[in-house]
Structure 1
Amino acid sequence: MTVDTPPGTHGADPDGDEDIALRRPAPAAESSRASRHWWDRNADEYQDEHGAFLGDDRFTWCPEGLDEAAAQLLGPTADLAGRDVLELGAGAAQCARWLRARGARPVALDISHRQLQHSRRIDLSRDEPPVALVQADAAVLPFADGSFDLACSAYGAVPFSADTGQLMREVHRVLRPGGRWVFSVTHPIRWAFPDEPGAEGLTASASYFDRTPYVEQDESGRANYVEHHRTLGDRVRELVAAGFTLLDLVEPEWPAELTQEWGGWSPLRGRHIPGTAIFVSRRG
């Protein structure tokens, strides 16, 4: 799971200067390049900071801690054995490792080579066979039609793609008929609020309907980080246009026992507004 944190500063550019955060257009090629370089540069820090929460083989959908073991959004856990599963934006492949332990045949795809190296590190530390890894852009999947029974993404790939309509069509293409496509993203309503865990994160400061990408760029104007906003309606229309049927839209509530903050996610905000949206769909 690679959790994005929209409208907030993610750090410095490669030269050590502070990035400039703004909203501006960011086409597909620029967005893809920025995501690959940002995650390559920040994968070590990300895994150090969040590795304990993610575990080595935990399938959690979101900072609220909703696990696939309990939610079974991909279908009954007992039915995973023997299934070919594609995980998009896999990071260190924690979700794929959980799937493999239940008899599935996962492939973990990520645009970042450094993130995938962390998957290899975990496998070596556990003395296990490596998870199957592929480095690629999720909007241009390097697989034949009908290669997988299931596809999933826990906060990976979708928010960083400039053309998520194309991404949805690609997932539809590589799935077999009846296959589920389940993905979690920052709840779109969060884009109207500052990305702050405290009380300042509870007052809307932007338009929910502003789809202008969030960009962090250096002084030359080169994007180092890009995220793309879509409304709930946009996501539903993308899925339907690609040939999927929406089965469920899950908005996990913040658990009372969870006191840990994660970026803009916090118990305070979680009690008032949703932080995550999980789309559960099926290929026709």
Structure 2
Amino acid sequence: MSAEEVLGTTGIARRTVDAVESERASRRWWDADADDYLAEHGSDIGDADFVWCPEGLREADAGLLGPVAGRRVLEVGCGSAPCARWLAAQGAAPVALDLSRGMLAHAAALGRATGLEVPLVQAGAEHLPFADATFDAACSAFGGVPFVAEPDRVMREVARVLRPGGRWVFAVNHPMRWMFSDDPGTDGLVVRQSYFDRTPYVEVDGTGAATYVEHHRTIGDRIRDVVAAGLVVEDVVEPEWPDGFDRVWGQWSPLRGALFPGTAIFVTRRPT
């Protein structure tokens, strides 16, 4: 059964969703969807690889985190944790955190299969269960940040657990994508709603309870959240669609990728 069937999804709503309902929906969604998601995208993300986005940008090539050997690195919203396992293979000491028990079960199994077992923690990104200044760096490749009701809190929490000078790099859907439907074809080239409409996208069950939630923030919102947390923005990377890359991944496609960005990667650091 699909996640929609398991959760009883019956429709779509556009309404506000608080942090409690959003977290509950995300936990249940990713528990229900973990098997299907990895069956479809496991080959895209790999078992021990660090792929930032559907455009295929890899940390091995981009080096957005800087040197990682010997450094403690927190992955926020790790899913099945291929990025954390890649970090471990580079000599880092990663910790992989995710809200979903279903995803973490896959992470544990893949850790055993690859021989790259990493510490796994079940928790939400808005409430990191770590002491201050625990990590040398933190990262998130489409994990956590787009699904939380209070992304400003995530930024504050990451800033808190970073050591001075530590980098926090996170990838999200490019905010301009909010204007378009999630269609890789020509229908996905037509503006459907305002970029400035921050009402969440919500799927609901027969009682109206959220079964899936995705939150929108503008580029300016993201920058303000980072700066308010006391972090410094070093770069905003908008990966271009690679020449000859014909992979379609959800809403990402060569057609759309040739015209406008699908991913924004924010490179930030805690001041020394």
* TM-score (norm. length: structure 1): 0.93
For residues 147 and 39 of structure 1, the distance between their equivalents in structure 2, rounded to whole angstroms, comes to 27
TM-aligned CA deviation for residue 23 of structure 1: 1.2
2:56 to 50, 60, 65: 65
2:127 to 134, 137, 140: 140
1:109 to 80, 97, 101: 97
TM-aligned CA deviation for residue 124 of structure 1: 2.2
CA 1:56 to 1:161, structure 2 compared with 1: closer, same or farther past 3 Å? Answer: same
Contact kept in structure 1, 2:85 and 2:117, CA below 8 Å: no
Contact kept in structure 2, 1:13 and 1:218, CA below 8 Å: no
Gaps spanning 5+ residues in structure 1: where?
1-9
Contact kept in structure 2, 1:11 and 1:19, CA below 8 Å: no
Equivalenced residues, count = 270
Deviation sequence 1:246-279 (CA, Å, 0-9, x none): 0000000001121110111000000011000000
Aligned to 1:99: 87
Q: Structure 1 residue 80 and structure 2 residue 71: aligned?
A: no
Contact kept in structure 1, 2:3 and 2:33, CA below 8 Å: no
- Return structure 1 stretches of 4+ with deviation > 6 angstroms: none
The alignment partner of 1:12 has SS state of helix
Gaps spanning 5+ residues in structure 2: where?
none
TM-aligned CA deviation for residue 19 of structure 1: 2.7
Answer with 114-123 or 135-144: which moved more.
114-123
Aligned to 1:14: 6
CA 1:129 to 1:95, structure 2 compared with 1: closer, same or farther past 3 Å? Answer: closer
The alignment partner of 1:130 has SS state of coil
For residues 52 and 232 of structure 2, the distance between their equivalents in structure 1, rounded to whole angstroms, comes to 20
For residues 14 and 177 of structure 1, the distance between their equivalents in structure 2, rounded to whole angstroms, comes to 44
TM-aligned CA deviation for residue 11 of structure 1: 5.6
TM-aligned CA deviation for residue 123 of structure 1: 1.9
RMSD: 1.1
Q: Structure 1 residue 51 and structure 2 residue 51: aligned?
A: no
Aligned to 1:35: 26
The alignment partner of 2:34 has SS state of helix
Percent identity between the two aligned chains: 59
For residues 236 and 191 of structure 1, the distance between their equivalents in structure 2, rounded to whole angstroms, comes to 17
For residues 5 and 225 of structure 2, the distance between their equivalents in structure 1, rounded to whole angstroms, comes to 33
